[in-house]
Structure 1
Amino acid sequence: MKRIALLGGVLALALAGCGLVSSPPITNPFGLEGQQTSINLGPSSAATGNLNVTATFNDTTLNLPVTPTGFNYNLAISGVSLSGSSCPSPLPASVNVSMNLSLTVSDNPSSGPRQASATANNVQFTLNQSGSSYTVANFSATLSFSNLQTLLDILQNGGQNDATLSGTVNTTSNPDLAGCTLTITWGGGQGILRF
């Protein structure tokens, strides 16, 4: 029995060294849950717009058994709506959406400001009409932070933190959505530490 336990421990450390072990998900690590972004879609061959939302969040305690090798953030959307007097009537039954996203996390401790960032490009998903609103289908946006140690320092110490999510949005539908306001309610998403 001791041999099996020892072998399991050695195997876990070996996998951790390869980056194949990940932490349990950290829910809503950047305080985005419930934040809203309203995007005014302008006229173009695909109605386009810019998004920007900022959230504040507190430090957290991470019990790290070994030094992590990466941090991925799986962004989430909890709701979407379309509005505006210039929106087509009736609204399209489905809308194809493409986004380029950037997330910057920062704080300003006494030692000076610091920030970490991650991007996700060409994130594609579909909005399907459901009554007077839309449901989100096939949304998957994983943002990977390259400056890991700075991110860990921001998350664990230095006081209140800020997260800014920004990007561009393209929509394709028939009829198109030029003149509409697309409002996205963000979910908290999940952060995953890799070891």
Structure 2
Amino acid sequence: MNIYDAVTLFLLLSATVLHLIGLILPGWWIVQENDSVSYFNIWFVIYCTDEDNCSETTFMMSGDRAWLIGPAILEVLGLATFVACALLNIYYLLKTKTGKAIRKLYAILLACAGFIIIFGLLIFIKKKAGLSRVETETSKGEPGWAMIITIVAAVVAVLDSILACIGISRNFKKEDEPLTFPDNMDLSLIVSVIGDNKKF
């Protein structure tokens, strides 16, 4: 295991845990009113009139809230991509002679996961911030810690993808270099051997 493999694995695990926390916690979008606070997430909303009096309502993703299906699918897809990246990472850590293709696939999937998560967040923000044509009840809200954690997870994933690409270019540089011969080497013997092999 080289240093790049160790760091990319650590960043991948960090991004996965952060994204999972962001999906579970309430407070993607917080709406503060005179006598209550509402904590919105993809899956549910928590209404609090004070610290001891809170109620949780699960979203029904239909009717006016059918658009929540889009961000939900994207965020779950991002999490599933993290799991796929973890399996690829474990595979090439256990195999001492893995090629560059597996590592490239890992870097591409990781970058895709980060951008998928960001895209899902943008859809959520557009709808929840009242930026759509129809103003919603959450137009005066603000992002909460759960959304910030999810954004950090996406950024870590993209940075991890870049680091994985750097590791590929460093570790496989010698492998990709063209075959060269010293200037003083007689190539006639090599040419004759190649010519003899063609006869077979």
Greater fraction strand? 1
Higher CA-based Rg: 2
TM-score, normalised by the number of residues in structure 1: 0.23
TM-score, normalised by the number of residues in structure 2: 0.23
Instruction: Give the number of the structure with larger relative contact order, counting CA–CA contacts within 8 Å between residues 6 or more apart.
Output: 1
